[in-house]
Structure 1
Amino acid sequence: MEADALPNVIAALVAGLLAGYGIAMPVGAVATYLVALTARTTLKVGVFAALGVATADGLYALIAAVSGSALIPVLQPITQPLRWCSALILIALAVRGAAKAFKKPADIEQTPVSPSRAYLTLLGITMMNPTTVIYFAALVLGGGTTTGHLEQAVFVTAAFLASASWQLILAAGGALLGRALTGRRGQLITTLTSSTLISALALHLLLA
């Protein structure tokens, strides 16, 4: 690596880390669902779900870094439909979670959530969020730190790792919550609270 390229790479690294944490850390419907999913399943399922969220963030970071300003005008006409689809999916998940909360434990154990299913579910939910790609596109346009292929690769990798590290923390928190609320009543309260919060966030998307 040439000495004059090092500052640009460092800038891209910092920008990617800030972008990844910036989009991952605010508590929203995806974070709430991730914690609740891990609490009622296993840490392994939560880890795969967390990686699903981080994969979506990484893909959007890649698209934003490569496409830049071309993304925003393309997304503008479909932002509202995407928001509606995302909200409807979240409401469906909330209703499904609430319904499962009232099932007998034996019924719940018969339909476990596989790690691959958790990964794909969280990947899909996160990819449906138009705010994510607009967020990354705006950062790339404003920062000007991803002009070269190396800088783009560093930016995308840093954004993915930052998002993944935060999502894994949320999954770990969900696993600890699940251990603390192992009783039937505790699981019921946790699931219903999660479903209520997810529904409220989904309604906020519909009304935005």
Structure 2
Amino acid sequence: MATQSIFGDPTSPASPSHYPPSQTMLLFLDYHSLFVTQLGSPGTSAVTQARKLATWARSIPDLHIGHALIDPKLDSFPTCKGQDRLNAVKQMLNDDSAGWNEPEGIRSDTDTEVVYLRRGGYVSATKSIGLPDKLAELGVKHLILCGLSTSGCVVRTACAATDAEFVVTVVEDACGDRDQNRHDVCLQMLGNRCWVMTAEQVVNELLKK
């Protein structure tokens, strides 16, 4: 009989531990330095945990790593509500290239960590150009998600991914939001469909042989 863990029964297709590294992708969502600065302490704290996850993931052969970011060169789609706000963010990312970049330590310089871009207005990373095709090509079934903000791209990506029949693990302390209560409520909601874990739990328990 398989040993139960915090990730459930590894013989179950609904458990993250059912999938080997080759069928798993760690996906960093919208860690733009500008967003980290805007969020303040929650953003800084999330980055600390994201760096821990990045170091762990790079130590595991065959584990895929991806980065989903907003493309500041693309306008939002015409029917998107709040275009003035989105255009302002786009302009800030264009004006300050450092604000577009991810903080040091989250992304490696190697070609194996691909950046997937999406236009403003698309909140879910599943709308990133090339990402769905790459996941299918790699045979990925399990996504580990972390990012900024919890109530934005994390929730929207997680919901879209579970509807697309992926198993999803959300790393709660590698996510952040302006409002702690909103962060907590979003994670509670996601717990109905996703596996919500800390970075320490993921690093110490997931993909253990």
Question: TM-score, normalising length from structure 2?
Answer: 0.27
Question: TM-score, normalising length from structure 1?
Answer: 0.27
Please identify which structure carries the higher strand content: 2
Higher relative contact order (CA 8 A, sep 6+): 1
Please identify which structure carries the higher helix content: 1
Higher alpha-carbon Rg: 1
